Structure 1
Amino acid sequence: MRYFLALLTLAMLAASLASADERIDKLPPEHKLWIEREVIYIITDTERDLFLSLLSLEERNFFIEAFWKKRDPNLATPDNEFRVEHYRRLEYADEFLGRDTFREGWRTDRGRYYIILGEPQNIQRYDGYAEIVSTHHWFYQGESGTGVPAFFSLLFFKRNDFGEFRLYNPVGDGPQALLNASANLSGAGAQVAALQSLRKISLELAQASLSYDPSEPGDILTGSPSMGSQIVIARIEESPRRRIRTDYAEAWMKYGNRVSAEYSFNYVPSRSVFSVLADPSGTALVHFSLEIDPQNFTLETDEQNSKFYTTLDVTTEVRSREGTLVLANDKEAFIELTPSQMRELGSSPFAYRDDFPLVPGDFTVTVILKNRVATQYTVAESDIHIPRFTKQAPALTDVILAFESRSVDEVLNDTEIRTYQIGKLHFQPAADNLFVIGDTVHLVTQAFGASPDHKVVFELSDGNRVLRSLESAIPSNGVVVDYVVLDDMVGGRLQVTARLVSPSGETLSTKTAELTVSPRSVASRPGFIYRRGVNTLIPGVLSFMRGEQLWNLGDMAGAKAALEDSLASGNDRILPARWMLANVYLKENRPDDALALLSPLEEPFPNRYEIVAGLGFAHHQKRDYEAAATYLVRARAIRPPDVMLLNALGDCHEHLGDRDKAREAFERSLQLDGEQPTVRERLSSLISSP
């Protein structure tokens, strides 16, 4: 059985390698050379797999650009010092380290480690010795953060004094491998005897033959090697990849098809937090804050350095757990900072904040923020549950963990909601809920539908025991704020639990939030915040947005009620509410009601597809085929038609006796969707009938 499993494993490995080789073989010569030679020792597995999965020349070129940019030690300089040094090493290896072999220098052991580690601090060459084979001893000082020792060395030797230099392995080779065959050592004491011979030539050589790590030496008396050398070799191999964040490659795999090619590999990390609050009507509002560290947030400046600016493109998408697109909107944000603001931002993150209403359900929210100046993007994503808030069932909204909360001097009513603000209370959420020891955590929640007789209990726990417990009264606007100081704490994860308690002591609602306490002395907080949000006071806006989301979810009854509420608000500027409600009426076979909504819009908006097409569908339902055809033909000229419009147009032409135009419309419809048996039958009938 073990033999079979071993064969199966080898077969799977061979298949995997074959698949990779097949992908390499399909690459153009310059890209094949790049992946097989130029970056073979420094590219991560994730990056390599992604590069081989790319299909277009443009994508691969953008990837290569991003690959080197991720390794650039100083983006402020015109040259990428890492890239320049890497190609210098590659050139040196080919010119000097392949001279004693038929292979290219980069393929040899010395070439491999020279490319990975660079120029040794010192090289001891043992050539022409009668006792030992040609051996070169390279000394290095380890670079912090790579996992290799502070000081280490490597040995390269010619086995039996023949062929090319190979990496010596203290465990696999042993000191005897460094001696000439004439030494003729064998038996139990051969290892110690070989070590003694090496000591006569060089103590450093003898020590390195047992261990590459001076802090973990082998036993010089018994000749036992240190197993730590195996670890040193492995860490050297891994060192070029160890400090590289491959999140840009992982982000492309997940979001690459949602950003244009020039952005695709320029992902930058960010931190985020999402919070659900409720307006007085019970409409849930999703608030989010997305923070980008200053080194990842690039701005452009004018010649006088008097202002710094960029434009952000922000896309917000909400999908149901089944994948239905519930909400999609795109916004632009023009950022302009003064020199003093820029100095403040220089060491602090930038924060983008916004909010939007969302109907009850379980969703995935994705926010993609693109910076035009640097063609960089970042993503914030979260799974969110939206409850149904009603006055009859008091409940808590999310617990927001803020690093600051304060009253602002604005003319607002106590229940008006703006992004991370209720009434005059403005709170600053901590991205990723991250705090440091000694911080004051501002605990914020809403007790929706609760009376002053209720109370909120906050508990801070470490999973095993409650560390702090706070009891808070509920003010008239339902916004509860309390504070906990993280003194006498150690770093780690904690949990904040908020409970809404009735006058009888019953827990009516519970919300939790994870809190991370960092051992760092200071938490990085935003130096510049760009805040926008939905104006909930504009009549009909929230009702329309709910109606649109319910429409997308297929809840026609809910969409109809919300859209009718929006129109009842008297706000005639929300035009989409009219044509969306008209579509609902058409689904209910109420063409006259649809016409009543759309007809007044025809003159001011003669080229609006939704209006023109809606009028066409309404007349089609009324069997006014001539009027319907006129509108549907106009709609087809405004926007490429879908199958619904083409089928309705074909039906109109057939009823009007224009068989050629009917056939043309049905044929076009089947080109878009061939799985329409009824349409195919009608087309066949048109073709076969004289």
Structure 2
Amino acid sequence: MSRRGIIVTLSSLILLASSFPVAAQKKAEPKKQEVKKQEPKKQENSRSRAQEEGNRALRKWLDEDVAYIITDEEKATFKALKTDEEREQFIESFWLRRDPTPDTIENEFKEDHYSRIAYANERFASGKPGWKTDRGRIYVLYGKPDEIESHPSGGTYDRPFEEGGGTTSTFPFEIWRYLYIEGIGNEVLLEFVDPSMSGEYRFTIDPSEKDALLHVPGAGLTFDEQFFGRDKADRLNRDGASLGNALGNTSRNNQFDRLELSAKVFRPPEIKFKDLETIVTTKLSFNLLPFKYRTDFVRVTEESVLMPVTVLLQNKDLAFQEQEGIHRALIHVFGKISGINGRTAQIFEDTIAQDIPDALFKQQLDGGSIHQRIVPLRPGLYKLELVLKDINSGNVGTISRGFTVPRYQDEKLALSSVILADLVENLPATQIGSGSFVLGSTKVRPNVSDEFKREKTMNVWFQVYNLKLDEATHKPSATVEMLITKNDQQVKKIVEQSSELSSAAAQMTLSQAVPLSDFEPGEYKILVKITDNLTKDVIASTGKFAVR
């Protein structure tokens, strides 16, 4: 082969070899794209698995954890709930209404319940979890019996007189004795028999079920059968039909008493703590009475904050009753504020009465009823539960929300809630510091819906805390700005200097009336900004409102 031929051949081989990785790379590219396409599927599958695990946990809670103690009404309500949030609130309320000490961290009923399930699973399992057995069920419902008569191997048994007397041989059985069970009575005897000798004891109301010689002719006879020739078939059978009783109808052998005991012993225990039932019932009512609410925060000291809770009801949602030309609606308000540890911080109850003269009734149905309760709290995390009930219709509305009470630290620039109000007015000295909507020397009635009519005036109220005082003048130097925008475009801007304010001090209460006649209908944003010119500290708060 010529030198040139060798060179050409080598060149061809090099080109051929270099083409392999290119081809391989081209073939690999779709795989990368395929991996990228698969990533969303993996994320979706992960979310689906998490959702399925959550669903399994909720099903387990209903079908296993509380299967024996949940009432039929509660079960139906739980199954009707639409979201996991509603179900979680239901579960929280379920345990709360059974808590014997709701003002403490511990829920003794819940802890005891799960301890009983664990004990039942450990002691009574027999081819299935212990809680599913009859003994496990009774233990979960009523706890440890006061006394247990146990015959784990069966054998020779001398019947007591109330069972007919005589001697027989038995299957393994136990008799549990409770001195008292609420809703059932005193001296409750519950019998369990293991006729299959497998370790699974079944609850029975028939004392003869443990008799291993029941179907053996002439063996294991009662006194009645020995001396009076009665047939074994005349004994109290397993269904509780008394066809013959040697010693008469004692309470333990009376067929009706036994049937009643069987019905009572397996039903869910009665809920004892009726004072909490109202809260739970409202959570299950699907909010038949709609209402709006808002909470605001105003500093008292570093460790104390006032929280006005304001509620708005529409008159059209209320049931009015007419009497002597006056239409009256009555609403009961129940509020509970608890810390994250479950301890109750505040409870309040009020009644809202809305009276409308007959001549104005149709006109004022488009209006609303507003109510406020001011509660003192320490800084921290809390949960607010509000329950409103229309006395005339029975309709109920409820909310349950978490919130944080801010800590207004000394020496640090701070701002109260910015309240958009329908009304702000100074009060006479005799009314300062008391009553609904009263904050210090001012009456401030919030607009709960944050919706204002164009012909009205919006009042902006807030307090500023811990402005630095000038050493020479003993007054603060601060800039107060209020900016209102629509679609990110400035609509109105107000700027004031503290030197222009007669009330200038380390703590200032400010209010600004904003006529809305020039505002086009729509959604707006408001920004309140405070600059301490001495320390250069800045604090701001934003909000939203609508003009209709």
Q: What band does the TM-score fall into relative to the shorter chain?
A: 0.3 to 0.5
Pick 1 or 2: higher relative contact order, CA cutoff 8 A, min separation 6. Answer: 2
Greater per-residue helix proportion: 1
Greater per-residue strand proportion: 2
TM-score computed with the length of structure 1 as normaliser: 0.36
